[in-house]
Structure 1
Amino acid sequence: MNKPVLPLTYEQLDHWIESLQPTLLAEDFAMAIGILRGGAPLALMVSHSAGTPVAFLRYDRASRKVAWDSTLPIPPAGSKVLLCEDIAGRGFTLADCIAFLQQQRLDVKTLTGAVDDLSRTQPDYAIDARGYFALFPWERQAYTQRYRDDWARVEAGDAPAMADDHEYATYAIDLDGILLPDVPLTRYDEDLAAALLERDALLPFDVLPGIDLQRVRTIITGRPETDRARTLAWLERHGFGHMQLVMRTPGTHDESPAGAAAHKAAAALAGGVTHFVESDPVQALLIAQQAPLLRVIWWDAHTRTGMLVGARAWT
C-alpha cells in the first residue's frame, strides 16, 4: 500500500457532520439512508444532527442487487433523501443505490465519509481523501495484508466471501517489557557493555500477553538498529525468530519516549497491523494519539494485566 493512511475516527466524522448541520437542516431531507454496513454510522450521525428519520439499504456486490432494509416505508415519491456511504469507491455500490432510490422517484443527494482518486461517483458531501487511503474505525482491518489479499480474491471471483472482521486482527508487539524484562536505564548509563550482556542473558517472561502469538506479525522495538544482530540472536534462542523485527533508526527517531513512540506508531501503520502491545504507559498514550485507529494495549508485566488505551492532545 503506497498511499499514506488518513485515519478518520468516529469523533472526527461526527464533528464533520456537525459542521454540515446548517446545510443539512436547510436541505430538509425526508430521510437519511445508510448503505449497510459502512454507511450506517454516518446515516445515524446525520439523523442525530439534523433530526431526520433513518433507514438502510442492503447491497449485494456480486449480484449488484439493492434491497430496502428498514421497518420504515420508502418515502413518498418526490421526497428528498440523503444517501450515506463510508466511501465513494471505484465500484458500483453508490451508483446502484442511487439508481434504486431514483427508481422510487426520490430526489437523491449523497454523503460519504471520503472521496478519493478512484471514486466512480462524486458525492454532494464528502471529506476529500484524494492521495490517501481513508481508514474508518469500522474498517481498521482493511489495511492489513490478509484483508487486501482476500478482497482481491473476492473481487476476482476466486473466493465466495470475506472472513469476519475480527479474523483479520493482526498484532505487533513491543519487545522489552513484553517478551523479557526491561533493564533499568541507569544500568546502560553506568556500563553500557555490561548492561547489554545482562540483557542478552535474560529469559523470557513466564507469562506473556494473552494473545495468539500466531497473529503477531511484527516486533517493533525502540532498540536502535545497531542492536539488530544481538536482538535477533536472543529471539532465535528463545523461539521468537519467526517474527519480523523492526528497530529504531536513531537518525530518524531519538531514544526519548516521544521519539520511540513516533517510531512505533509509524512502523505499526506501515506494517498494516490492527493492534499494538506496548510495555511503557507513556509511550502507549503517545502511540494511541499518533495512530488513533490502532488498538493500543498497555501491558503491565508485573501485574500481568493489559489496558486498551486512547489519547487526544489537550490544549
Structure 2
Amino acid sequence: MEKPILAITYERLDQWVHSLQSALAGEGFQCALGVLRGGGTLALMVSHTVGIPVAFLRYERATRTVIWDSSLPVPPAGAKVLVCEDLAGAGDTLVDCVEFLRARGLIVKTLTAGFDDLSRIHPDYGIDGRGYFLLFPWERHAYTDGYRERWTRTDAGRSGDIGEDHEFQAIGIDLDGILLPDLPPERYKANLECALHERDELLPFITMPPFDISQIKGVVTGRPETDRIRTEAWLKTHGFGSLPLVMRNPDICDDSPSCVAAYKAQAALRLGCTHFVESDPIQAIEIAQNAPLLRVIWWNTPAGKGRLVTSDDWRGTRKSCNDDPAAAHRRPKY
C-alpha cells in the first residue's frame, strides 16, 4: 500500500462532530441514521451533540438490500434525516442507502468520517482524506496484508463476508527486553565490543508475552543495521529465524529515544501491524503518539504482564494560585 495512513481516532471524530454542532443543529434533522456497523458510532456522536434521535440502517452487500433496523418508525415523508457512514467509498453502500430513504420521500443529507479519491458520493459533511489511506479505530485491521488479500482474491469484499476483526491481528515486537534481556546502556558505553559479545550469548526469556507466533509480522529493533549479521544469527539459533527483522538505519535515524520510537512506529505501520509489543515504557508512549491507532503494549518483563498504552497527553489540573500565593511563584510555567 503506497498511500500514507491518515489515522482518524475516536478523539478526532468526537472533536470534529462537535465542531459541526451549530451547522447540524441548523439543518433541522429529525434523526441521525447510522449505517451499521461503521456509521453507528458517528450517528451516536451526532445524536449526543445535536440532541436528535438515532436510528440505524443495515446493508447487505451481496444483494444490495437496505433494511431499516431500528425500534423507531421510518420518519414521515418530507422529514430531513442525516445518514452517517464511516467512509464514502467506491462501492454501493452509501448510494443505495440514500436511494432507499429518498424513495420513502425523505430529505437526505450525508455525513461520513472521511472521503477519498475513489468516493462515489461527496458527503455533505466529511473529513477530506484524498491522497491518504483512511484508517478508523474499528478498522485498524483493514491495513493488514491478510485483510487485503482476502478482500481481493475472493468475492468476500462484495458480499461483506471478510471475516472477524480478530482474525487479522498482526503483531510487531521489540527485540531486547521482549525475546532476551536488555543490557544496561552503561555496559555498552564502558566497552562496546564486550557488551555485544555478552549480548550474543544471552538466552531467550523463559516467559514471553502471550502472543501467537504465527501472528508476528516482524521483529522491529532499535539495533543499527551494522548489527544485522549477529542479530540474525541469534534469532536463528534460538528458533526465531523465520521472523522478518527490521533494523534501524543510522543514516536516517539516530539512537535518541524519540527518533527510535518514531522509526519503530513507522516500521510497524509498513509491516501492516495492528499491535506492537515494546519493552521500554517511555518508547511505548512515544510509539503510540506516532501511530495513534496502533495497539501498543508495554511488556513489563519482571511482572510478566503487559499494559495497553495511550497516545493521549495529560496536562493535569493546576490548583488556583489564590489558594497558596507563595506556591504560585514556585510552580513551573506551562
User: Does the pair score TM above 0.5?
Assistant: yes
CA distance 1:295–1:114, change in 2 (3 Å): same
* Structure 1 position 180, deviation (Å): 0.0
* Structure 1 position 109, deviation (Å): 0.1
Q: 1:176 and 1:70 mapped to 2: Cα distance?
A: 51
* Structure 1 position 160, deviation (Å): 7.8
Q: 1:223 and 1:62 mapped to 2: Cα distance?
A: 48
* Structure 1 position 257, deviation (Å): 1.1
Q: 4+ runs of 1 displaced by more than 2 Å?
A: 153-160, 311-315
* Structure 1 position 151, deviation (Å): 1.4
Q: 2:2 and 2:155 mapped to 1: Cα distance?
A: 20
* Structure 1 position 159, deviation (Å): 8.4
Q: Contact 2:117–2:131 (CA<8 Å) still a contact in 1?
A: yes
Q: Contact 1:154–1:161 (CA<8 Å) still a contact in 2?
A: no
Alignment map for 1:131-150 (pairs within 5 Å): 131-150=131-150
Q: 1:199 and 1:118 mapped to 2: Cα distance?
A: 50
Q: Which amino acid letter does the alignment assign opposite residue 164 of structure 1?
A: E
1:252 match: 252
* Structure 1 position 128, deviation (Å): 0.2
Which stretch shows the higher mean deviation, 166-175 or 145-154? 145-154
2:289 match: 289
Alignment map for 1:241-280 (pairs within 5 Å): 241-280=241-280
CA distance 1:291–1:14, change in 2 (3 Å): same
1:214 match: 214
Alignment map for 1:1-315 (pairs within 5 Å): 1-155=1-155, 161-313=161-313
Q: 2:98 and 2:161 mapped to 1: Cα distance?
A: 24
Q: 1:31 and 1:135 mapped to 2: Cα distance?
A: 27
- The SS at the match of 2:123 is coil
Q: Contact 2:60–2:159 (CA<8 Å) still a contact in 1?
A: no
Q: Deviations over 1:25-73 (max 9, x none)?
A: 1001000000000000000000000011000000011111100000000
Q: For structure 1, list consecutive stretches of 5 or more residues without a partner in the other structure.
A: none
Q: 1:158 and 1:79 mapped to 2: Cα distance?
A: 32
Q: Which amino acid letter does the alignment assign opposite residue 63 of structure 1?
A: T
- The SS at the match of 2:43 is helix
Structure with larger Rg:
2
* Structure 1 position 302, deviation (Å): 1.1
Which stretch shows the higher mean deviation, 154-163 or 249-258? 154-163
Q: For structure 2, list consecutive stretches of 5 or more residues without a partner in the other structure.
A: 316-334
Q: Contact 1:150–1:159 (CA<8 Å) still a contact in 2?
A: no
Q: Which amino acid letter does the alignment assign opposite residue 8 of structure 1?
A: I
TM-score computed with the length of structure 1 as normaliser? 0.98
- The SS at the match of 1:227 is helix
CA distance 1:203–1:258, change in 2 (3 Å): same
Q: 1:57 and 1:149 mapped to 2: Cα distance?
A: 28
* Structure 1 position 155, deviation (Å): 3.7
Q: 1:106 and 1:114 mapped to 2: Cα distance?
A: 24
Q: Deviations over 1:204-254 (max 9, x none)?
A: 000000111111111000000110110000000000011110001112111
Q: Contact 2:62–2:159 (CA<8 Å) still a contact in 1?
A: no
Q: 2:248 and 2:257 mapped to 1: Cα distance?
A: 12
* Structure 1 position 303, deviation (Å): 1.2
CA distance 1:157–1:314, change in 2 (3 Å): closer
* Structure 1 position 175, deviation (Å): 0.1
Q: Contact 1:88–1:122 (CA<8 Å) still a contact in 2?
A: yes
Q: 1:269 and 1:156 mapped to 2: Cα distance?
A: 24
CA distance 1:157–1:174, change in 2 (3 Å): closer
Q: Contact 2:178–2:208 (CA<8 Å) still a contact in 1?
A: yes
2:320 match: none
Q: 1:250 and 1:230 mapped to 2: Cα distance?
A: 17
Q: Deviations over 1:278-308 (max 9, x none)?
A: 0000000000111110000000111111100
Which stretch shows the higher mean deviation, 153-162 or 21-30? 153-162
CA distance 1:215–1:184, change in 2 (3 Å): same
* Structure 1 position 313, deviation (Å): 3.8
* Structure 1 position 161, deviation (Å): 1.7
* Structure 1 position 264, deviation (Å): 0.3
